[in-house]
Amino acid sequence: MATQEQIEEKIASEDNKQLVPFNPSSDSSKIIVPGIGLHLNSLAISSNNRRNSVNEALSSGPSLPSSDDSFHSPTTAQEFLESLTLASMERGLDPTENDVALAEDFGPGSPKKKRRKVEGEPEACKRCNCKKSKCLKLYCECFAAGVYCIEPCSCQDCFNKPIHEDTVLSTRKQIESRNPLAFAPKVIRTSEPGHEIGDESTKTPASARHKRGCNCKKSSCLKKYCECYQGGVGCSINCRCEGCKNAFGRKDGSVLPETETEPEDDTEANEKNALEISAKQNDNQTIEEQNMNSGLPATPLQFSRTLVQIPYSSSAIIKPPRSLLGIGSSSSNGLYQTHNFGKPSIFKTQSKLENRPFQGICDDDIPEILRGSSFSPGMGIKVSSSPNSKRVSPPHHTSSTSPGRRSGRKKLILQSIPSFPSLTPPQMK
C-alpha cells in the first residue's frame, strides 16, 4: 500500500518544515545549534567527526530527539522533561545480548547471522532481516529498538538509516501517535517486589514484566516467540496466553523453577536470564549510576539531555523521581543516538562508520521510552489508553529496575561515563 509512500511523502513535507537537511559534510562545529536542539543528523554527523568525544557531543548541546517537534529547543521545562523521560530501556532486552554487541557485530565478520542468538554468541545488536517493511515498522527489531540498521543487518530497502533520519523520525512519531508505548521497553522491570506491574500473582525472578503481556497460543510461552519469555520475564495477568508454562513465571502465578521446564535451549536462556537478573540485582546499587549513564554516555543526545536536565531538575519540574528521569533520558528519540554511542566510542572505536554513528551500537541499551514525548505531560505515566488494549502499565518506578538490568552494558557505560557528572550543564546560551 501506499502507506509507506504516504509516509515518505509526509516526511518529505515535514522535512521542509522542521527537519534540517543535513549535510553530510558539515563540520562538527555546525552541530552546535544555538540553544538546545542538536539534531539527530547533526549528531550523526558529529559523531562521525568526533566519535571519540562523547563529551563533545554533550557540549554541543542537548538535542531532543523524539519527534520532529522536539527539534525545536524545548523552551519549557516540561518539554524537556518529557523528552528526558522517555526512557527506553530497551525493548527487547534479550538476556543474551546486551553487552558486547558492538564489538561483535562488526567484528567477526559480521556475517549477518540472522538473529539467532545462539547461546554462545552474545548476540550483538539487533540485526534485522526485513524485506518489506523497509525497517520502518515495528516488525523491524532495529526500528523497534530505536536504532538504525547497521551493516550486519540483511534488510532490504532499508530506510532506517541516518540518511533517512527524517523518515525514521516521522514514522516513529506516527507510530507513537497510534501507540504511545510502541517504543517503550517491552519489559518493565520493577525492582520492588510488591510493586509489580499489575500483577502480583506472578513473581518473576527478575521482578519484571512484559508491558503488554503476550498472547501466545501454541508456544506455551516456552519459546522465544513469546515476548515475555524472550525478555526473560514471567507472564503476568496482562498476558492472554494460553497454556502458559513460562519458565520465568507463569501467568497464573506459579513459577516454575527455571531448570525445570526448559525447552531445548531454555536452559541457556534461563541461565542467561538468571545471570542477568542476578547481575541486575547487584546492579541495583549502581542503578543510579546507570540512570545517569544511561543517558549519557551512550548517546550524545542523551547526554545533552541529561545535562539539560540538570538545570531543570532542580527546578522541580521533575516529578518523577530521578530514577525516572534517568530512564527517561533515553527516550525513544534518543534511541537512535544511543545507538551510536551506545557503544561508546571509547570502547568501540568506530567500527564501521558507514552508517555511522548510530548504528554502531547495537547495544541494547536502547532506551525505552516511557512515554512518547507527546503524551504524558506528567510522565506519570498513566497511559490509560493503551492502544493495545492490553493494559500497559507504566513503569512506576522503573527507575531502579530497568537501568539495572543490563549488567554487561552497564559496565561499559559506567566506565565510559565517568566524566559526565562533572560536565557543566550546558546552559548554552
187: helix, strand or coil = strand
Task: Tell me how far, at minimum, the Cβ of 59 lies from DNA, in Å.
Answer: 35
Report the residue number, 77 or 182, with the smaller CB distance to DNA.
Answer: 182
Confirm or reject binding of residue 179 to DNA (CB under 7 A): yes
Give the shortest CB-298-to-DNA separation in angstroms. Answer: 22
| Residue nearer to DNA on the CB measure, 265 or 288 | 265
Q: Does 233 bind DNA (CB under 7 A)?
A: no
Measured from the CB atom, is 117 or 343 closer to DNA?
Answer: 117
Among 38, 145, 208, 226, binds DNA (CB under 7 A): 226
Residue-wise DSSP of 212-244: S----SSSTT-STTSHHHHTT-B--TT---SS-
Q: Which is nearer to DNA, 31 or 214 (CB)?
A: 214
Task: For residues 305 and 313, give the distance between their C-alpha atoms in angstroms, rounded to a whole number.
Answer: 11
CB within 8 A of 189, min separation 6: which ones?
89, 206, 207, 208, 209, 233, 280, 395, 398, 401, 402, 404, 405
Half-sphere exposure of 359 (CA within 13 A, CB side): 27
Interface with DNA in residues 184-203 (CB under 7 A): 186
Residue 95, helix vs strand vs coil: coil
User: Judged by CB under 7 A, which stretch of 48-56, 216-224, 319-327, 335-343 contacts DNA?
Assistant: 216-224
Interface size with DNA, residues (CB under 7 A): 44
Closest separation in Å from C-beta 226 to DNA = 6
Q: What Cα–Cα distance (Å) separates residue 362 from each residue in 77, 262, 366?
A: 30, 28, 8
**Between 371 and 390, how does the x/- string for binding to DNA read (CB under 7 A)?**
-----------------xx-
Residue closer to DNA (CB basis): 50 or 126: 126
Question: How far apart are the C-alpha atoms of 17 and 369, rounded to whole Å?
Answer: 25
Residues 6+ apart with CB under 8 A from 1: none
Residue 1 within binding range of DNA, rule CB under 7 A: yes
Distances (CA, A) of 154 to 9, 148, 272, 331: 25, 13, 26, 26
* Cα–Cα distance for residue pair 177/271, rounded to 1 Å: 37
C-alpha 122/C-alpha 364 separation (Å) is 12
Helices 40-49 + 332-342 axis angle, to 10: 10
* By CB under 7 A, residue 217 contacts DNA: yes
**Binding map of DNA across residues 98-137, x = CB under 7 A, - = no contact:** ----------------xxxx----------xxxxxxxx-x
Over the window 133 to 162, marking each residue x when it contacts DNA by CB under 7 A and - when it does not, the resulting string is: xxx-xxxxx--x------------------
Q: Minimum CB separation from DNA for residue 174, in Å?
A: 9
Distance CA 72, CA 109 (A): 40
CB nearer to DNA: pick between 139 and 425: 139
- Where on the chain is the footprint of DNA (CB under 7 A)? 1, 3, 114-117, 128-135, 137-141, 144, 175, 178-179, 182, 186, 212, 214-220, 223-227, 230, 263-265, 388-389
